[in-house]
Amino acid sequence: MKKLFWLLIIGILFAFTACKNSPKPQINIIPQPERMFVNDREYKLDQNSRIIFEDPNPALRLIAEDLAQFISSGSNFKPEVMPYSLTKSIENDIYLSISLNDSILGDEGYQMKTNNGQFISIQANTARGVFYGVQSLYQLFPDAFYSQEKHAEMWKLPAVTIKDRSRFAYRGMHLDVCRHIFPVEFIKQYIDLLAMYKYNHLHWHLTDDQGWRIEIKAFPRLTEVGAWRDETLIGHGGSSSKVYDGKPYGGFYSQDEIREIVDYAALRYITIIPEIEMPGHASAALAAYPDLGCTGGPYKVETSWGVFEDIFCTKEETFAFLEQVLDEVMDLFPSKYIHIGGDEAPKTRWKTCKTCQQRIKSEGFADEHELQSWFVQRIEKYLNQHGRKIIGWDEILEGGLAPDATLMSWRGTAGGIEAARLGHDVIMTPVSHCYFDYYQGDPAAEPLAIGGYTPLSKVYTYEPVPEELNEKQAKHILGAQANLWSEYLKKPENVTYMALPRMAALSEVLWSPSKSHDWEKFYDKLPSHFLRYDALGITYSKAVNQIRVEETTNADDDVMLNLKTEVPSGQIYFTTDGSEPDTLSKRFEQPIEKDAIEILNMQLYRKGQKIGEIQQRTFNRSAYE
């Protein structure tokens, strides 16, 4: 009897030790939940599973139906969707509820539990919170769900307990459709990507010098004329001799299409903020209605990129026009914010315009900068009368900031810091970290971009709240946004390539607590997300795995090659004799003299495993001999 007792004790201890030492599954949720515990059990989803939603709630029904559709895309079954009142039981099911009543989680937080591996519950205070919980649930599905092993009879999901909420209220992505326009279906796909990563705002840049993209029924020439340019610049706008393709280019979104997109976004808890540029970046509008400019024209829809001197005049006819335009914009977009641009508005025309100079004199302004501030404030008052607020780029600080304006700080952090100190709300979007039209890898190996260098790791390490602000001022930092300007993004696949996976990195910056940010853990989650992009047929970048070659000079003026990687714990091995490098080759530890190399083959390793393919650079030694 005593022997049996000790055998039982040993068995229990062995089972406990095995369970304790067994590796927990890799959880690949982006953005990282605030609190998460991984249990040892698994939840088995199969043809007997149902999706039960708390009733009566049509918003939860829609979320449940989307979840069922998602599951059916990788399974041989589609779970039945039904309200709780019709079943009164939850067994092997997924349960969605908004009866949590947890003030700490707010409107966007959620709680997910896998109860003893038997059923999954996602609870929140609002349907929005449940929606975000379901986005996390999607990311618990195994990688095989997105691979060739799809359409299984049963899927095992790790059993987790999550309590999660957002760090920032504003989490935004931007899309410029003026330089290049994209189909309605792609705009919806872009919105889906934002939803995947819990973004809640899309800043839609709809008017600029190169095209007016929104139908305004009161002014049909805006799309008849302003939506079309004669040709488009080929190559980089900074080149000394510019070449054009000679092909007319343009298009616009009808009001019906815009309503369709706005409704689509709303179902995914994304608010679309339209941008109608003023007083600058107005060439397309002036081409359609020349009387709105200071000179009367002629004007044209611009065919190249940059900043142009012709802007809206401050005459009364201009404000009558803009107010009618904004009336239709407000009818289409329920957003409390309307973005009015305000950036890059040269004052050249205003300085020689009799109307503008008379306005400066009669209003007692010191200069044209104060005139622009007055212009912005006048538009703000009109929008405020209709229950809306303005957002503008940080140039709207010049000459005095409009009383109730929210500022987007893009030229760095200085504008955001100044505005927050003045008591204004701020959305941070500095070129240093948030311009996704910048290169993310070695330009020699990347598609043409406007310039700059914003790699994935730099995006991930961004902190939106400037350390210069005190606690009270910091509360005015609503969040941050990444911008995608489309001068060099001609097709949808160019957009997604520049956005992904940088969009994922910024989402974790904006949603997750700063103390949980961990570059190495984030990098470990990427392969699972790459599989999901592949399954969706989405083009994306793997520049994070590139080896960057930088040239420097030493004290003897020798040109040296420095090899860099942003891969955490990444090691670079190289050869110079044309052979394929491996871990027996020379490991890069210090700069290499360029003069001694014709062919440089490089291979990246991490934890003993190859990362990506061999990367090669060739050099012409004759210049050094």
- In our burial notation (b when 16+ CB lie closer than 10 A, e otherwise), range 440-478 reads bbbeeebeebbeeebbbbbbbebebbbeebeeebeebbb
**DSSP states along 63-89:** HHHHHHHHHHTTBS---EEEEGGGT--
579 DSSP assignment: P
Among 208, 215, 368, 425, the active-site one is 208
Among 80, 107, 344, 418, the active-site one is 344
Q: What is each CA distance from 74 to 82, 143, 145, in whole angstroms?
A: 21, 11, 6
Can you say whether the dihedral through the CA atoms of 300, 452, 203, 185 is positive or negative?
Answer: positive
Among 205, 281, 339, 476, the active-site one is 281
The CA distance from 535 to 149, in Å, is 12
Q: Which tokens belong to 335?
A: 């957003």
Amino acid at 279: P
Alpha-carbon Rg for the chain, nearest whole angstrom, is: 28
Active site residue 557: no
Amino acid at 184: V
Q: Which of 357, 360, 290, 362 is nearest to 321 (CA)?
A: 290
Q: Which of 528, 589, 537 is nearest to 563 (CA)?
A: 589
Question: In 3-state terms, what secondary structure has residue 335?
Answer: coil
Burial of 43 by CB count in 10 Å (0-12 exposed, 13-18 middle, 19+ buried)? buried
Active site residue 208: yes
Task: Using alpha carbons only, give the angle 271, 273, 275 rounded to the nearest 5 degrees.
Answer: 165
* Percentages (nearest 5) of helix, strand, coil residues in the chain: 35, 25, 40
- In our burial notation (b when 16+ CB lie closer than 10 A, e otherwise), range 557-594 reads eeebbebebbbeebbbbbbbeeeebeeebeebeebbeb
| β-pair partners for 234 | 243
Q: What is each CA distance from 619 to 181, 207, 603, in whole angstroms?
A: 39, 45, 18
The CA distance from 22 to 620, in Å, is 54
Q: What kind and span of H or E run contains 264?
A: helix 255-266
CB 617 within 8 A of CB 588: no
Active site residue 281: yes
CB 335 within 8 A of CB 272: yes
Q: Which of 243, 282, 388 is nearest to 329 (CA)?
A: 388
Q: Which residue numbers are catalytic?
A: 208, 281, 344
